[in-house]
Structure 1
Amino acid sequence: MKARAEERKTATLGSGVVPIRFLGAGAYLAWLFTIHYSTGFFETADRAIDSLILSNLANLIGLVGAALFARRIAPISAKRPYVAGAGIASCLGTVLASLAPLDGHAEPTLFVVGNVLVGIGTALLILLWSELYSSLPRKETSIFYSGSFIAAALLFYLVSALSPLAQTTVVPILPLASMIMLFFSSKLLPNQAEEVRESADSHWTFPWRPSILLAVYAFVSTLARSMSFEANDVGMMGMLLIALAVLASNVLLFDRFDARMLYKLTPPLIVGGFLLISFYDGFDGLGNALINAGFSGFVILTLIVLSTISYTYGVTAIWLFGLTRACRVLASTIAACGHAWLSSSGLANDAILGSAAIVLVVTCAMLFLSDKDFTSTWGINPLPQKRTDAVGEFYTTLQGKCSIISHEHGLTQREEEVLALLAQDKSIAEIETQLVISNGTVKSHIRHIYAKLGVHARKEVVDMVRNL
Structure 2
Amino acid sequence: MGLPGEQVLGNLKTSKDDKGAQRQAAGLITPAIAGIGVALGCTLAWPLMAFQSMNLYVGLAHCEWILDRAYLLSIVATTVTLALCGIFHKQFDRLLGSAPARYLFPIGMAVCTLLVLGAGNEGTVGTALVTAYGIGTGVFSALFLMNFGAVLGVLSLKQSAAAIAIGYLASTVLFFAFLFFGRFESVLFCASMGPVAAAFLFYGVSSLQIDKKQANALPRQADPEDPAEHRQLLRLICAFGLTMLVCGVSYELSRTLYVQMGQFASSDVAPYAVAQACITTLTAIGSIGVALVLITSKGVRGPEACYRLITTFLLAGALLLPAPMLFPNVPAYLPLAIDVAAFQCLGMGMWILVAGLCRRYQTSCLFAFGLIRAAWSAGPLVGMLIGRWLWYGVGLDVAGAFTAACTCVLLTALMNNFVFTENTLARALSIMPTDRKQRFQDRCRAVIERYGLTEREGEIMIMFAKGRNLPYVQEELCLSKSTVSTHRQHIYQKLGVHSAQEMIDLIQEEKA
TM-score of the superposition, structure 1-length normalised? 0.75
Instruction: Give 1:104 deviation, angstroms.
Output: 4.6
Q: Distance in 2 between matches of 1:48 and 1:390?
A: 55
Unmatched tracts of structure 2, length 5 or more? 5-12, 432-454, 473-499, 503-507
Q: Name 2:109's counterpart in structure 1.
A: 90
| Counterpart selection for 1:176 from 167, 186, 195 | 195
Q: Name 1:239's counterpart in structure 2.
A: 280
CA gap of 1:240–1:315, structure 2 versus 1, over 3 A, is farther
1:217 paired to 2:247: yes
Q: Name 1:37's counterpart in structure 2.
A: 52
Q: Amino acid of the residue matched to residue 46 of structure 2?
A: W
The two structures, once aligned, show a CA RMSD in angstroms of 3.8
| Counterpart selection for 2:320 from 276, 281, 304 | 276
Aligned to 2:407, the other structure's residue is in SS state helix
Instruction: Give 1:150 deviation, angstroms.
Output: 0.6
Unmatched tracts of structure 1, length 5 or more? 381-387, 405-422, 426-430, 435-468
Q: Distance in 1 between matches of 2:173 and 2:289?
A: 17
Aligned to 1:42, the other structure's residue is in SS state coil
| Counterpart selection for 1:22 from 31, 36, 46 | 36
Q: Distance in 2 between matches of 1:327 and 1:394?
A: 36
Q: Name 1:459's counterpart in structure 2.
A: none
Instruction: Give 1:178 deviation, angstroms.
Output: 0.3
Q: Name 1:294's counterpart in structure 2.
A: 342
Instruction: Give 1:351 deviation, angstroms.
Output: 1.9
CA gap of 1:235–1:358, structure 2 versus 1, over 3 A, is farther
Q: Name 1:415's counterpart in structure 2.
A: none
Deviations 1:383-419 (A, max 9, x none): xxxxx959964982545969x9xxxxxxxxxxxxxxx
Asked if the contact 1:74–1:197 (Cα under 8 Å) also holds between the matched residues in 2, the reply is no
1:339 paired to 2:387: yes
Aligned to 1:261, the other structure's residue is in SS state helix
Instruction: Give 1:258 deviation, angstroms.
Output: 3.4
CA gap of 1:255–1:329, structure 2 versus 1, over 3 A, is closer
Larger mean Cα displacement after TM superposition, 341-350 or 231-240: 231-240
Q: Name 1:353's counterpart in structure 2.
A: 404
TM-score of the superposition, structure 2-length normalised? 0.69
CA gap of 1:255–1:334, structure 2 versus 1, over 3 A, is closer
| Counterpart selection for 2:417 from 331, 356, 366 | 366
Q: Name 2:256's counterpart in structure 1.
A: 226
CA gap of 1:76–1:259, structure 2 versus 1, over 3 A, is farther
Q: Name 1:189's counterpart in structure 2.
A: 208
| Counterpart selection for 2:159 from 134, 140, 148 | 140
Q: Name 1:266's counterpart in structure 2.
A: 310
Q: Name 2:129's counterpart in structure 1.
A: 110
Q: Amino acid of the residue matched to residue 375 of structure 2?
A: C
Q: Distance in 2 between matches of 1:331 and 1:16?
A: 33
Instruction: Give 1:318 deviation, angstroms.
Output: 1.5
Q: Distance in 1 between matches of 2:206 and 2:93?
A: 17
Q: Distance in 2 between matches of 1:262 and 1:42?
A: 37
Q: Distance in 1 between matches of 2:413 and 2:239?
A: 16
Q: Name 2:488's counterpart in structure 1.
A: none
Q: Amino acid of the residue matched to residue 326 of structure 1?
A: A
| Counterpart selection for 1:323 from 371, 393, 414 | 371
1:396 paired to 2:463: yes
Q: Distance in 1 between matches of 2:85 and 2:19?
A: 30
Instruction: Give 1:39 deviation, angstroms.
Output: 3.4
Asked if the contact 1:22–1:182 (Cα under 8 Å) also holds between the matched residues in 2, the reply is yes
Aligned to 2:27, the other structure's residue is in SS state coil
Q: In terms of Rg, which structure is larger?
A: 2
* Identical pairs, percent: 15
Larger mean Cα displacement after TM superposition, 319-328 or 194-203: 194-203
1:200 paired to 2:222: yes
